Chain A
Amino acid sequence: MNILLLLIPLSLLFMAGAVWVFFWAVNHDQFDDLDTPALMPLDDTDQRAGRRDE
Chain B
Amino acid sequence: MCCLGCRAAAEWIEQLGLADYYALRTAPGQKPDAPAENLSPDSWNRVDNARHVVRDLGGGLRETLLLVEGVRCTACVWLIERSLGATPGVVSVQVNAAARRARVIWRDAAVTLPQLLQTLSRVGYGALPLDSRGLDDLRRRESRDALKRLLVAGFGTMQAMMYATAIYLGAAETLDVSTRELLRWLGLLVATPVVLYSARPFFAGALRSLRARRAGMDVPVALAIAAVYAASLIESVRGTGEVYFDSVSMFVFFLLAGRYLEMRARHRAGDLTDALARLTPPFADRQREDGTWQRVGIHELRVGDCVRVAEGGIMPADGVLLSGGCRVDEALLSGESAPVLKRPADLLIAGSVLEDGPVLVRIERVGADTALAGIAALAGRAHAERPRLQVAGELAAGRFVGRVLALTALTATVWGFVDPARAFSAAVAVLVISCPCAFALAVPAAITRALGALARRGVLVVRPDAIQALAECTHALFDKTGTLTETTLSLADLHAFGDVSRDEALSLAATLARQSRHPVARAIAAAHPGISGGAVSEVNSHAGLGVSATIAGRTLRLGRSDFAVTGFPLSREHEDAVLLAGDTGPIAAFRIGERLRSDAGAAIDALQSRGVTVLIASGDASSRVAHIAARLNVDTWRARVLPAGKLAWLTELRAAGARVLAVGDGINDAPVLAGADVAIALAEGSELTQASSDIVLEGGRLDAIPAARDIAQRTIAIIRQNQRWALFYNLSAVPLAALGFVPPWLAALGMSLSSLGVILNALRIGREDLAPRTAALVRAPAEFSPRPAA
B-contacting residues of A (Cβ < 8 Å)?
1, 4, 8, 11-12, 15, 18-19, 22-23, 26-27, 29, 31-33, 35-36, 38-39, 42-43, 45, 50-54
Contacts and interface: CB of A to CB of B under 8 A. Distances in A.
Given A8-B186, A43-B24, 12 more contacts: A1-B176, A15-B190, A22-B148, A32-B140, A32-B144, A35-B98, A38-B74, A42-B20, A45-B17, A50-B82, A50-B85, A51-B16
18 contacts: A4-B179, A8-B182, A11-B159, A12-B186, A15-B155, A29-B94, A32-B143, A33-B97, A33-B98, A36-B77, A36-B81, A36-B95, A39-B74, A45-B17, A45-B20, A51-B16, A51-B17, A52-B17
B189 interface: yes
A54 B14 CA distance: 11
B155 A18 contact: yes
A9 B17 CA distance: 55
A42 B75 CA distance: 11
Interface size classification for chain B: 20 to 34
A19 B197 CA distance: 13
Nearest to A9: B186
Interface in B56-75: 73-75
Interface string B71-112: 001110110011001100000001111100000000000000
Nearest to A52: B17
B152 interface: yes
A51 B148 contact: no
A49 B196 CA distance: 49
A33 B147 contact: no
A43 B179 contact: no
Interface of B: 16-17, 20, 23-24, 73-75, 77-78, 81-82, 85-86, 94-98, 140, 143-144, 147-148, 151-152, 155, 159, 176, 179, 182, 186, 189-190
A39 B24 contact: yes
A38 B26 CA distance: 13
Give the one of A15, A19, A33, A36 with max B CB within 10 A. Answer: A36
A31 B147 contact: yes
Contacts of B74: 35-36, 38-39
B481 to A, nearest CB: 32
A23 B148 CA distance: 7
Contacts of B152: 19
A18 to B, nearest CB: 7
Nearest to A42: B24
A27 B147 CA distance: 11
A11 B166 CA distance: 15
Contact of B148 (A8, A18, A26): A26
A5 B390 CA distance: 53
Contacts of A29: 94
B78 A15 contact: no
Nearest to A5: B182
Contact of A12 (B78, B97, B189): B189
A35 B151 contact: no
B78 A39 contact: yes
A1 to B, nearest CB: 6
Nearest to A43: B20
A47 B178 CA distance: 60
A18 B81 CA distance: 32
Contact of B151 (A19, A33, A38, A52): A19
A26 to B, nearest CB: 5
Contacts of B17: 45, 51-54
Contacts of B182: 4, 8
A33 B155 contact: no
A22 B190 CA distance: 17
Contacts of B75: 39
Nearest to B90: A50
A36 B97 contact: yes
A20 B143 CA distance: 18
B22 to A, nearest CB: 13
A1 B82 contact: no
A37 to B, nearest CB: 9
Given A19-B152, A36-B97, A1 B147 contact: no
B740 to A, nearest CB: 28
Contacts of A23: 148
A10 B303 CA distance: 71
Contact of A31 (B20, B94, B144, B190): B144
A50 B75 CA distance: 15
Nearest to B179: A1
Contacts of A35: 73-74, 77, 97-98
A33 B20 CA distance: 20
Contact of B86 (A1, A36, A50): A50
B19 to A, nearest CB: 9
Nearest to B139: A32
Contacts of A50: 82, 85-86
Contacts of B186: 8, 12
